[in-house]
Amino acid sequence: MSDELIELEEEEHTSPLTGETFRRILGLLKPHWRWMVGFLLTIALTAGLDALFTYINRGLIDEGIGRGSIPTIWRYAAYYGSLQLVQAGLVFGFIYLAGILGERIQYDIRKALFNHLQDLSLSFYSQNAVGRLMARVTSDSGRVSSLMTWGLLDVTWAVVSVISSVAFMLAINWKLALIVFSIIPILLLIAVNFRKKILVEFRKSRRANSKITGEYNQNIQGVRVVKALGREDENLREFARLTDDMFRASFRAAWLSALFLPTVQIVSAFALGAIVWYGGMQSLTATFSVGDIHAFVSYLTFMIWPVQDLARVYAEMQHAVASAERIFTLLDTPPEVRDRPGALPAPTLRGVIEFDHVSFAYEDGKPVIQDFNLRVEPGEAVALVGETGGGKTTIVNLLCRFYEPTAGVIRINGRDYREYTLESIQSRIGVVLQTPHLFSGTIRENLRYGRLDATDEEIEAAARLAGAHDFIVTFEKGYDQPVGEGGNLLSVGQKQLISIARAVLANPEILILDEATSSVDTLTEALIQRGMEALMAGRTSFVIAHRLSTIKRADRIVVIEGGRIVESGTHAELLRRRGHYYRLYTRQFKFEKEQAYGVAAPSAVPVIK
């Protein structure tokens, strides 16, 4: 399922507001309560003033025009004008306060989420798609913050408008007011029902839309197959079915929305009719003036708008509560790997590293590593080889303490590494990943990621050592060349060289290299090899190795299959054994030679993965 669909489903999820969630939502507002009080006051006053304007107009009609007094007209106009100015000030106030508060709350939520995400363990990331996490931070935060500001504002406005209209109507003529109020429940019923129906169609159209996008995407990416198989007409027929679905849903949603307002208006026309008839009859007894009629007609509209708006706000509130719950769930997730109480900073990692009967399972009952034993002397280079899925990467993840063993102990300097702080371990381990990950920004910024206080000279020295300097200076801006989003302006080989240089700069005590399988041109390949050699010199290193040169250079080769060590020894020892390693080696040998002679498939990946 695509990220877009995941997001869609989450968006459709609604929750009733529970006490606990409500308390926590209020907790988010707590630091800014002054702002909230401010906008609630200003919106309440704004709505109240709206009702007052009508009252003023009534006075103007009855006392001014009715009695033919121009000074009275001017007096009321002066009231009106000054209140207009006051109201403008209030409008400024609530837009400013609610709007900025909304931005601020979103800022707060995003910050809390991001900071918490940094502390979560890798296991959390392997269980949660990036798209989902992105949605937490981007859209869920927006939904919650707008509920707490604009949503709350709409509710306050609606409630105050209705109450003040009701109050003024009661004050003018309570009997007529009661007749008019009888339409309120009808309006609410209509509003809620319409909202539901429209929402259903709206969701359908969102769903159809994301299918349409998916279909565009596939057809463009697979255009070669489409052309080769001459499937254009059938594709169009299939696609037209999707756009038909889209048409039906969005047209229905559109006309339902268009029907809503007229329905409300017609219902309220009955109230208007009642006002006219009753008011007209009353005027015979002179207890009901033209100003009163005018006022009633206006108050009627003040009542209708909020009522229909409340239905919308209520629907949005349910979604926002669901968003808030997802946010709180994420914030409540504890990191699986964290410092034990009383953990000490490791003085150094330059010591014996020992895997002692280590087992590990991502899921219960499905061990990836079983009873793994390995002792590595300081400065030793160990090559881990074996088929994909054998457990090599897991071993490296355990060593980095991205995960901790489910059984057994990993010791550094003879001490269980869980007795050390995470920071002191991870800051001393250098990792070069198989698919290098760069961040948007310049090459220099990416290199400096290895050591934040490195000088430009040190950065350049590291780049030289890693063999990256030469290609960097060919760029127009040299070290200040932007690498693009995720480094996509650079070639794979260049990204690898930069990630090596980054590790060089970090000057780690333990080195972990996951050799890339994707092929790069021979020159870059040689550079990468040399860079890796430079990096490994004098350090304890673990290499998930694919290439023979790397494997042969290791002090020890460990062949891993099914989460266990099946063979271990030097290159010569293992070849003599004619076992697993021997088979891997002969295949890889042919492959590499064919590549070297330029007779192999150019894009093929190495045999040993």
Look at the block and give the residue holding tokens 């590990």: 360
- Which of 27, 273, 345, 379: binder of another protein (CB under 8 A)? 273
Nearest approach in angstroms of CB 556 to another protein is: 16
Pairing of strands 415-416, 407-412: antiparallel
Q: How many C-beta atoms surround the C-beta of residue 372 within 10 A?
A: 24
Handedness of CA 194, 195, 200, 206 (dihedral sign): positive
CA dist 269 and 252 (Å) reads 26
Residue 363 binding another protein, by CB under 8 A = no
Nearer to another protein, 37 or 229 (CB): 229
Residues 365-404 as x/- pattern, contact with another protein by CB under 8 A: -----------------------------------x-x--
- Which residues from 477-506 bind another protein, rule CB under 8 A? 485-486, 502, 506
Number of H helices, E strands in the chain: 23, 10
- Which residues from 113-142 bind another protein, rule CB under 8 A? 114-115, 117-119, 122, 125, 130, 133-134, 137-138
Nearest approach in angstroms of CB 26 to another protein is: 21
Nearer to another protein, 110 or 556 (CB): 110
Residue 427 binding another protein, by CB under 8 A = yes
CA dist 177 and 292 (Å) reads 11
Do 36 and 101 touch, CB atoms closer than 8 A? yes
Q: Which stretch binds another protein (CB under 8 A): 30-38, 185-193, 269-277, 356-364?
A: 269-277
Residue 516 binding another protein, by CB under 8 A = no
- Which of 26, 37, 189, 229: binder of another protein (CB under 8 A)? 229
Residue 227 binding another protein, by CB under 8 A = yes
Give helix 183-221 / helix 3-12 axis angle, nearest 10°. Answer: 170
Residues 435-464 as x/- pattern, contact with another protein by CB under 8 A: --x-xx--------xx-x------------
CA dist 41 and 160 (Å) reads 11
Buried residues in 230-258 as b, exposed as e (16+ CB within 10 A): eeeeeeeeeeeebeebbeebbebbeebee
Residue 186 binding another protein, by CB under 8 A = no
Q: Which stretch binds another protein (CB under 8 A): 19-27, 224-232, 404-412, 533-541?
A: 224-232
- Which residues from 60-79 bind another protein, rule CB under 8 A? 60-61, 64-66, 68-70, 73-74, 77
Q: List the structure tokens of 446.
A: 């990416």
Beta carbons within 8 Å of 327's beta carbon, 6+ residues apart: 109, 113, 136, 140, 141, 144
Residue 175 binding another protein, by CB under 8 A = no
Nearer to another protein, 259 or 344 (CB): 259
Nearer to another protein, 437 or 477 (CB): 437
- Which of 91, 159, 184, 352: binder of another protein (CB under 8 A)? 91
Q: Which stretch binds another protein (CB under 8 A): 168-176, 353-361, 421-429, 557-565?
A: 421-429
CA dist 169 and 161 (Å) reads 12
CA dist 274 and 289 (Å) reads 15
Look at the block and give the residue holding tokens 């709180």: 328
**How many residues touch another protein (CB under 8 A)?**
148
Residue 225 binding another protein, by CB under 8 A = yes
